[in-house]
Structure 1
Amino acid sequence: MNVSHDIKIFTPASGGAELQIMICALSVESALKVAADSIPEGFRLVAGRLFLDDDTVVPSLSKPFNAISVVRQKPLGDHPVSLWIWASEESFSSDTLLWSANLVSDKEDIYDQTYEILCNYQQFLISQGMNITDNCVRTWFFVDDIDYKYADFVRARREYFDSIGLRSDTRYIASTGIFGVPGKRDVTGGDVMLDALALKDPEKCTITYLHAYSHLSPTSLYGVTFERGAVVEYDDRSHVFISGTASIDARGEVVHVGDVGKQCDRMMENVSVLLSEANASMEDVQMAIVYLRNSEDLGIVKQRLSETLRDIPHNYLLAPVCRPEWLVEIECMATISL
């Protein structure tokens, strides 16, 4: 079947194991079959995302995979399809997480699309007795033509967040903003797509935000509105969500312009500092996604990261970062027993 997959299991003493799977395959069908075969009985889907090249057709997805996100970000390597799956046994953490995916708008321009997507997500959460400000802990924004459309996306997000009290003097949300095309755009339209995680019972959790000011600037310094990372502490574990992180310094400037290898080094240094602020390390990381601006840099990036990511389910995607000078970015998630 020519499929590769990596699995990492988090097994706290209290039960409620979690499973992270990263699959690379020649077809969506073969990736889904491996995922179905890899998820043990008693586990349910928490979140997931299907990464596709431009040519792969999206088939009809049946339960539980109809809930996953579908985005066109070309997997780099020998397979045109990659699939990330997060599954869990029953636990307070898995029960309180609410995954939303494939949120798009058919408005004409990026600003209006972004604003409508956030309005619609807010209305959905309100219908569930929640809201973005109090409940949302992690977002992913996929923006087509990011070099040209990112500024309008940023403006819309900033203005919407300001309207609901998310500002530099309050807080934002951990996030990744990256190139990506809605996987079903031929049906849904849209140049921007949102995936998000919210907490149904945030009052039963402790939420803290990561800054690593010794290495990274506040994002508001250069006009964007997200947190570098977030830690959600439940009854028996913590989830550490590390936002999309690149080679940036405490002044908000790109480090090692034009040198993808050195950018990898600084990127991972930044991630390590963020993790340490959460009392975690790379050993606690359960999954990672690496985004590259140029496919020809894959060999150097793999060489730099292969040892660090050896035991972590991960993939490499062709997905330009929001500044042309950034050649590589990573996001990851760690889990810690309490």
Structure 2
Amino acid sequence: MLIFKIITPSLRGGLEEQLNTLSVQLIDMLENDKLALSQLLVTRIYLSDAANQLGVLHQHPLWQQLTAGAISVIEQPLLSGEKVALHCVLTTDSLVEKNGTPERMKMSIGSLKMLFQSVRFTESEARSLSSEEQTIETFRRHQHFLKEEGLTLEANCHRTWFYVRDVDRNYQGVVVGRNKVFAEEGLTGDTHYIASTGIGGYPADAEAIICADFFSVDGLQRKDVRYLQALEYLNPTREYGVAFERATSLDANGQRYLMLSGTASIDNKGKVVYEGDVRAQTERLFLNIEKLLNNGEASLSNLEYAIVYLRDISDYSVVAAYLKEKYPHLPVLIVEARVCRPGWLIEVEGVARLELS
């Protein structure tokens, strides 16, 4: 079984102090849950200033702990005031085989094989490429990883994340690049797309416009994969020219995992709902999430965590108060990240888990 943990430093202070605190909290969490570092699969590290913090992170003992699994690093400042936070995915299975590097790792649990890849460009790799070309290149790298394992993007890739520098300007390049790759792979509105988040975010290298993470799975049958809809509430993305699934559910080892793409306050015509009102948008997007989960025989009570992206940092207090009131037991992380359409003030992603009878 997969479990999901959000860890924020319990003590404030400088970066070094927060990293020290997180290192202790990570070990405490593992001990409390009777887990080991070998059961850590993936960690996404959120930084407030990647250009100045990444080097310190790489030299810290916490980094060595986290290299027990795959790692993704992204600059999306935490609006609760911390400099760094962790989002960890672990397994309760004690027998895990891992091969690769933290940026490109294969993890096997019984007959199930998971591939996680974090694509980050160096200055020389990124300098001459547009956002469209960088998007295509991220896909090419994951396609190469998949090909090595005898897998394909169409059959095996189930979740992507695209972090976009100056998303208002550069997101269209992501859309065009992804559409071109999907057309080559036979991913269409009549077949299926891939669940995805496309959001503002910054790699450490200033020349990089795009960075991306990929999650693929081998060992599932077609019947184990469903693409979720809630057509009375939000329309298929192809109707406004983009290509991703609203949510995808995977049945594996007696569990159903419902992976929610970044979800906003959108209606069944593809229009922004409640422009200018962040609380109303938050309420509407959670209604959309609820209906998507219902399509997978789950509900909001099955939601394991939520990553909340806010366009305007001044909306933090409103959204934090709403979440505390409506979902007091839901682990959340609220970060600054512009959503791909200016009218959307907030977007939320997450994973729900349902035990299959």
TM-score w.r.t. the length of structure 1 is 0.89
**Pair 1:281 & 2:283 matched:** no
> Match of 2:155?
134
Residue aligning to 1:111: 132
Q: Over aligned residues, Cα RMSD in angstroms?
A: 2.0
Q: Distance in 2 between matches of 1:143 and 1:94?
A: 35
Q: How many residues matched? A: 319
Instruction: Say whether residues 1:41 and 2:35 are aligned partners.
Output: yes
Q: Which digits, 9 at most, give the CA deviation of each residue in 1:215-270, with x for residues without a partner?
A: 00110111111000000012311100011000000000000011111111111110
Distance 1:79 1:72, change over 3 A: same
Alignment-mate amino acid for residue 328 of structure 1: I
The partner residue of 1:258 within 276, 286, 294 is: 276
Distance 2:321 2:277 in 1: 14
Give the secondary-structure state (helix, strand or coil) at the position aligned to 1:185: coil
In structure 1, distance between residues paired with 2:232 and 2:87:
32
Distance 1:93 1:266, change over 3 A: farther
Gap change, CA 1:102 and 1:29, over 3 Å in 2: farther
Which of the residues 112, 118, 134 maps onto 1:101? Answer: 118
Distance 1:93 1:51 in 2: 31
Distance 2:267 2:222 in 1: 35
* Deviation of the 1:196 alpha carbon: 1.5
Match of 2:85 in 1: 82
CA–CA separation in structure 1 for the residues paired with 2:78 and 2:259: 22
Q: Which runs of 5+ in 1 are unaligned?
A: 1-15
Confirm or deny that 1:191 pairs with 2:209.
yes
Residue 229 of structure 1 is matched in structure 2 by 247
Structure 2 residue identity aligned to 1:291: Y
For the residue of structure 1 that corresponds to 2:294, the secondary structure is helix
Contact kept in structure 2, 1:134 and 1:202, CA below 8 Å: no
Equivalent pair of 2:220/2:252 in contact (CA under 8 Å): no
| Structure 2 residues not aligned, in runs of 5+ | 13-17, 96-108
2:193 paired residue number? 172
Q: Which structure's relative contact order is higher, taking Cα pairs within 8 Å and 6+ residues apart?
A: 1
Note if contact 1:139-1:196 (Cα within 8 Å) is conserved in structure 2: yes
Q: For residues 326 and 211 of structure 1, what CA distance do their matches in structure 2 show?
A: 20
Asked if 1:161 is matched to 2:182, the reply is: yes
Q: 1:298 aligns with which of 316, 321, 330?
A: 316
- CA distances 1:115-159 after superposition (whole Å, capped 9, x unpaired): 111011101111122111110111111011000001111101111
SS at match of 2:262: strand
Structure 1 residues 70 and 205 mapped into 2: Cα distance closer, same or farther (>3 Å)? Answer: farther
Give the 3-state SS of the residue equivalent to 1:224 in structure 2.
coil
1:57 match: 53
